[in-house]
Amino acid sequence: MYALLILFTFSCSLETSLDPLPSDLDTGSLDAITAKASSKQTALIGGLNGISGTSTLHRNKNGIRANFKAEGLYPGAYTIWWVIWNNPQECMTPGECIEADFATPGKVGVEVMYAGGHVVGTNGKGNFSAYLNAGDDTPESMNTSFGFPSVGGLAIGNTFDAEVHVVLRTHGPKVSGLVNDQISSYRGGCDEPFKYAPFTVYPNMIGECADIAAAIFSPAD
Percentage of the chain lying above the pLDDT 70 cut: 80
Q: What is the pTM of this model?
A: 0.83
Range of the domain at 68: 3-20+28-217
Per-residue pLDDT of 62-90, as tens digits, reads 999 999 999 999 999 999 999 999 999 99
Per-residue pLDDT of 95-105, as tens digits, reads 899 999 999 99
Within 3-109, strands assigned E span 12-18, 37-44, 46-47, 52-60, 63-71, 76-85
Spatial distance between the Cα atoms of 208 and 190, rounded to a whole number of angstroms = 6
Answer yes or no: is pLDDT of 19 > 80: no
Per-residue pLDDT of 198-219, as tens digits, reads 666 788 889 989 999 999 999 9
Number of domains within the chain:
1
Answer yes or no: is pLDDT of 32 > 70: no
Residue 121 CB contacts under 8 Å (≥ 6 apart), including other chains: 75
Answer yes or no: is pLDDT of 23 > 70: no
Spatial distance between the Cα atoms of 137 and 139, rounded to a whole number of angstroms = 6
**Which residue type, as a one-letter code, is found at position 65?**
R
